[in-house]
Amino acid sequence: MIEIKDKKDCSGCNACKNICPKNAIEMVNDEKGFRYPRVNRDLCIECNLCNKICPIKNKVKINNNPIAYACYNKNLEERLNSSSGGIFILLAKQILEKGGYVVGATYDEKFNVKHTIINDFKDIKLLQTSKYVQSDVSDIYIRVKELLESGKYILFTGTPCQIEGLNSFLGKKYDKLYLQDIICHGVPSPLVWKKYIEYRLEKDNEKPININFRNKDNGWKKFNLKFQYTSKEYKNNQTKDYYLLAFLKNVILRDSCYDCRFKKKNRISDITLADFWGVENILPDLFDDKGTSLVIISSDKGKELFEKIDKDIVKKEISFEDAIKFNKNMTSSVEKNKNRDKFFEKLNDISFDKLCKKYVLDNKLKNKVFRAIKRLVKN
Ligand SMILES: Cc1cc2nc3c(=O)[nH]c(=O)nc-3n(C[C@H](O)[C@H](O)[C@H](O)COP(=O)(O)OP(=O)(O)OC[C@H]3O[C@@H](n4cnc5c(N)ncnc54)[C@H](O)[C@@H]3O)c2cc1C
Ligand code: SF4
Ligand code: SF4
């Protein structure tokens, strides 16, 4: 049966939970709010399927030749309503037009992030834009398998660990399944997200009707978080908003994200989507600060799907090395912030703003001024 000795060795992909024939595995939150498998020994029949399919314990080796493009969606409204260049919505349309299903991350009514399945274009907005929180895939691999077995087309989207989790769970290739992952910074704790939402409620005194992590009113390059309320809005960028700061400074990520086994050049996904960071230096013609995507094609199936959206995009092929020059998250993990453990230790003890002021904000300047005053007084 599955046993997690070191938290780094579990990405929370849910493959073990989904494969268990006795429903003996449940995913349980740890004190930081990340989900880990827990086996009910009374139900477990020791079939060991969970260990056999865990994508961290069983590495897959892929030999392919990824091809990279800088591109963006020609439809400006669709692009502005997406995190990067608005490529996901175009891929999704292709599958939905065939009567297929698209799987991706959405919010529930309390703005928790979870995976869901859609098959109607009117629901595409649910999946659009990045939610920088670990998404709960629950038992979705089982439902995806049922749809595939009944002959449906599927576009499954998610983090690289979720894509490998699904691939291991399925155990065989399906012609009608398209896998699309992302270049992944890492996923923040759902508990920290919940605390941040509570903090905003306290500050803004209103329940949000929508949340966008990548609002583009002030451009694409700077992350901008927007809470839309009925009567007003909260908007702040990555240099000021506490949640974005904690995410981008690597304070609130899952343990496995600091030692990610899924960040690599050769991936099992058909297509990888990302922001084309540095495009203004590498391909200035494709930069207008409204969002440029980096698209990496890793299979014939990916190539075939990408060719279908050719008329809807502006694109330019680029070498893999140039494509990831400013996006190291394709192949390497981010470094754990030195204050991460202290942040989580105090998560339930002090208010969100105090917590961030203490463990997230850069205190270098404050310390410098403090030391200068001390020196002055001493002299
Ligand atoms: C947690 C996270 C970390 C990321 N880190 C990087 C990075 O380091 N570098 C980089 O270049 N790009 C990163 N991205 C990808 C980037 O933000 C865009 O999602 C991607 O470029 C697609 O953009 P788009 O404009 O084509 O479509 P969009 O409409 O913006 O993207 C929607 C797609 O994102 C998926 N998605 C949204 N939230 C989640 C989630 N929580 N978990 C899994 N899938 C989700 C949806 O299922 C859908 O497929 C990250 C995305 C996420 C969710
Ligand atoms: S990585 Fe996935 S399959 Fe492996 S133990 Fe964690 S949740 Fe289970
Ligand atoms: S950094 Fe790696 S382990 Fe973490 S969510 Fe992304 S793919 Fe999964």
3-state secondary structure 273-311: EEECCCHHHHCHHHCCCCCCEEEEECCHHHHHHHHHCHH
The residues with which 210 forms a beta bridge, in sequence order, are 228
pLDDT attached to residue 61? 87
The residues with which 293 forms a beta bridge, in sequence order, are 71, 275
CA of 161 to the centre of ligand 2 (A): 9
Number of Cβ within 10 Å of residue 265's Cβ equals 15
Q: Which of 83, 333, 56 is nearest to 167 (CA)?
A: 56
The residues with which 275 forms a beta bridge, in sequence order, are 293
Separation of CA 230 from chain center = 28
pLDDT along the chain (379 residues), means of 10: 94 98 97 97 96 94 94 98 98 98 98 98 97 98 98 98 98 97 98 97 96 97 97 95 97 98 97 97 97 98 98 98 96 97 96 95 64 69
> Is 7-53 a CATH 3.30.70.20 domain?
yes
The atom number, within ligand 2, closest to the CA of 12 reads 7
pLDDT attached to residue 350? 93
- Rounded CA-CA distance 305/179 in Å is 11
Among protein residues, the one whose CA lies closest to atom 3 of ligand 2: 54
Contact 75, 312 (CB under 8 A): yes
Domain ranges of the chain: 7-53, 62-379
| Ligand 1 pocket member 215 (CB < 6 A) | no
Ligand closest to 309 (CA) is 1
DSSP code string of 98-150: TT-EEEEEEE-TT--EEEEEE-SGGGHHHH-S---S--B-TTHHHHHHHHHHT
pLDDT attached to residue 200? 97
| Ligand 1 pocket member 293 (CB < 6 A) | yes
| Ligand 1 pocket member 106 (CB < 6 A) | no
| Ligand 1 pocket member 71 (CB < 6 A) | no
pTM for the full model?
0.95
